[in-house]
Amino acid sequence: MSETLRLGWRQYRLERRMFWRNPSAAFFNFLLPLLFLFAGGAILSGSQHDLNKLLPAIAGMSVMSTTFTALAYNIVYLRERGVLKRIRGAPLPTGSYFGGVAANAVTNTALQIVLVVFAGRLFFGIGWPPEPLSLIVWVLVGVVAFAALGVAFAHAIPNFESTAAYVNAVFLPVLFLSFFVFDASNPPAFLKTIAQALPLLPLIEGLSGAMVTGSPIGKHLDGLAVLALWAAIGIFLGVRGFSWERAESR
Amino acid sequence: MSDAPAIEVRGLSKRYGDYEAVRGIDITVARGEVFGLLGPNGAGKTTTVEILEGYRARTAGSVAVLGQDPARRGLELRRRIGIVLQSGGIYPHITPREALEYWAGLYPRPRQVGEVLELAGLSEQADTRTRRLSGGQLRRLDFAIALVGDPELIFLDEPTTGFDPEARRAAWDTIRSLRDLGKTIVLTTHYLEEAQELADRVAIVKDGRILADGPPRELGAGAPHYRIAYRTPEGEAVQLDTDDPTTVLHELTGEALARGGRLDELSVARPTLEEVYLELTADE
């Protein structure tokens, strides 16, 4: 066990180093949500009500981009380049590898959430999160669900060239639909139903409660259940279909 | 070290759906031996090696690698083998030194990173990111990563494909130096010359079967062992295949001397591995 942890820690450190050395990954995973936050903040600066909506929406987007998007990209890239296959042949426990990869994603998510919280406090007139423990729980559940879904989604992407198309075909519609339903005072019922069944809106609503309105987790149990269900689906598909090699060599 | 063979394979077969990639292969590789799997593309070499490496599950047969079943993918076994894949990738933003330090840390008794960089001829590129390395340099890094754990058994899948002649010679020297260290090496190649240069024993593989197996010089037991060639006084080229060149030569030279003539361009040769290989792997 301690060996698995030690090797997982080394994998984590390698992942961190590789992450910061890759400017485009650092940009898309890190700066993009912050750019959205500040651009949105500038546009909506007249309305505290809108800013209160913007902050949890961006926090939810951050969770999704640092886990779902980043892992789908990374896994497809490493798989197609043959890096996963090489790792598979090394004396590295599978748990150490995925532990390191997951911890790397969690680090990015945590850094992002901290930045978003500070931005809310310093620039957008929103105080410190009224429900900090709830915030941690929501971020953790969101990370598990979106990370697992990202790993599972990587299986559907046939080659690295098409990764951006596949990821954005999911990321952008889910993002815009969830933002729209979250913000609209009276959204069309069918859109609301769809958005509530997807994982992002429940996460944003939970984050809103934890970061802005101070409504505890107990008031969002249905949303938590939706996220947990997505997490279970993601883990099931992620583990079952996982491939260490590109398709033509299988 | 025990006398048990490094690798023992009996009746190995592998089926993908309706396609039988490997059809009943037997292999024994002794410790310290360089064993070559030689055959055309699609013969089943890579499938066979990847079963030995633990990447693929077999359909039937028994496999022991260093006394263990590779399909179980035990950590202990993986610590004792090194793998050079046909196309293994590497993180683009890592340097050779960092990669070797990382991989060395996975093994109980790794070699020194600086020494392995030197051996692989990568000392000058040690701190260059891999995305800036040439194809040949990346291939040398593949070697280095496979060696840094100081494994007992090394798998090399088409190790010099795409190399220029000079790089190939350098890779051969590296492989020979590994053999001199007592490592067991399993090598797949479709270059005859490579098998001939490096392997103590070669198995010729085609369509998932082993067609012939033995030291490169003795291969082709079914084929005539000697080929005598000469040119008649009329200028006609003649080739004779024989198991007994002494007698044939005696008769030929006797006749020629009796005639007071000569045998122009007389030569006696053993068929090269190439001729045996081409004969065995030719499509009927």
Domain residues for A221? 2-249
Q: Does B149 contact A at CB distance below 8 Å? A: yes
Strand pairing report for B34-38 and B264-269: unpaired
- Chain A nearest C-alpha distance from B135 (Å): 14
* Confidence at residue A250, expressed as pLDDT on a 0 to 100 scale: 39
Does B83 lie at the interface with A, CB-CB under 8 angstroms?
yes
pLDDT at residue B222, rounded to an integer: 52
Q: Which residue of B has its CA nearest to A83?
A: B89
pLDDT digits (tens, 9 = 90+) for B74-121: 999 999 999 999 888 999 999 999 999 999 999 999 999 999 999 888
Q: Is the pLDDT at A139 greater than 50, yes or no?
A: yes
Distance of CA A37 to the CA centre of its chain: 16
Confidence class for position A22, pLDDT limits 50, 70, 90: confident
Residues of A in contact with B78 (CB under 8 A): 89-91
How many Å lie between the alpha carbon of B18 and the closest alpha carbon of chain A?
15
pLDDT at A89: 93
Cβ neighbours of B74 in A, within 8 Å = none
Rounded to whole angstroms, the Cα distance separating A34 from A13 reads: 24
Residue ranges with strand state E in A115-220? none
Q: What is the rounded average pLDDT of the residues B127-134?
A: 94
**What's the mean pLDDT when you consider all of chain B?**
89
Tokens describing residue A80: 């197609």
> Stretch A128-138: mean pLDDT, rounded?
93
Report yes or no on whether pTM surpasses 0.90: no
pLDDT in tens, B146-184: 999 999 999 999 988 878 888 888 889 989 988 998 999
Contact A17 B87 (CB under 8 A): no
CA distance B53 to chain A (A): 7
- Give the residue carrying structure tokens 């291939």: B139
pLDDT at A249: 45
Q: Does A85 touch chain B (CB under 8 A)?
A: yes
pLDDT for residue B255 is more than 70: yes
The pLDDT value given to residue A231: 96
A-interface mutation test, from B72, B93, B127, B132, most A Cβ less than 10 A away? B93
The pLDDT value given to residue A125: 84
Mark yes or no for CB contact B102/A10 under 8 Å: yes
Q: What is the pLDDT of residues B5-49, one digit of tens each?
A: 999 999 999 999 889 999 999 999 999 999 999 988 888 999 999
Q: What separation in angstroms does the CA of B56 have from each of B44, B63, B67?
A: 13, 12, 18
Cα within 13 Å of Cα(B206), Cβ side = 12
> Residue A10 belongs to what H/E stretch?
helix A2-21
Distance CA A94, CA A98 (A): 6
pLDDT digits (tens, 9 = 90+) for A179-232: 999 998 889 999 999 999 999 999 999 999 999 998 888 889 999 999 999 999
Q: How, if at all, do strands B153-157 and B81-84 pair? A: parallel
CB within 8 Å of A221: residues ≥ 6 apart: none
Give the integer Cα–Cα distance in Å for A60 and A171.
Answer: 12
A1 to chain B, any CB pair closer than 8 A? The answer is no
User: Does residue A22 sit at the B interface (CB-CB below 8 Å)?
Assistant: yes
Which structure tokens are listed for B20? Answer: 């039988």
Closest chain A residue to B88, measured at CA: A82
Residue of chain B whose Cα is closest to the Cα of A79: B89
Q: Are A78 and B107 inside 8 Å of each other by CB? A: no
Mutation site for A-interface testing, chosen from B14, B46, B106, B109 by largest number of A Cβ within 10 Å: B106
Q: How far is A81 from chain B (nearest CA, A)?
A: 5
Nearest alpha-carbon partner for B67 in B2, B12, B154: B2
The predicted-structure confidence for A167-179, as pLDDT tens digits, reads as follows 999 999 999 999 9
Interface contact flag, A89 B79, Cβ < 8 Å: no
Q: How confident is the model at residue A18 (pLDDT cuts 50, 70, 90)?
A: very high
Give the residue from chain B lying closest to A15, CA to CA: B91
Residue A90 with chain B: CB contacts under 8 Å: 78, 103, 106
Judged against a pLDDT cut of 70, whether residue B1 lies above it is answered with: no
- Which residues of chain B neighbour A78 with C-beta distances below 8 Å? 89, 91
Q: What percent of chain A has pLDDT over 90?
A: 74
Amino acid at B58: R
Tokens (6 digits) for B205: 């593989």
Give the residue ranges of DSSP H helices in chain B.
45-52, 75-78, 96-104, 113-119, 135-147, 165-180, 192-198, 245-259, 273-281
What pLDDT is attached to residue A123? 87
pLDDT confidence of residue A248: 64
Residue A15 confidence (pLDDT): 95
Chain A touched by B106 (CB under 8 Å): yes
Within an 8 Å CB–CB cutoff, is residue A219 touching chain B?
no
Give how many domains chain A has, as a whole number: 1
**Average pLDDT, integer, range A106-123:** 91
Over the range B244-269, which residues count as b (16 or more CB within 10 Å of their CB) and which as e?
A: ebeebbeebeeebeeeeeebeeeeee
Q: Is 80 exceeded by the pLDDT of residue B273?
A: no
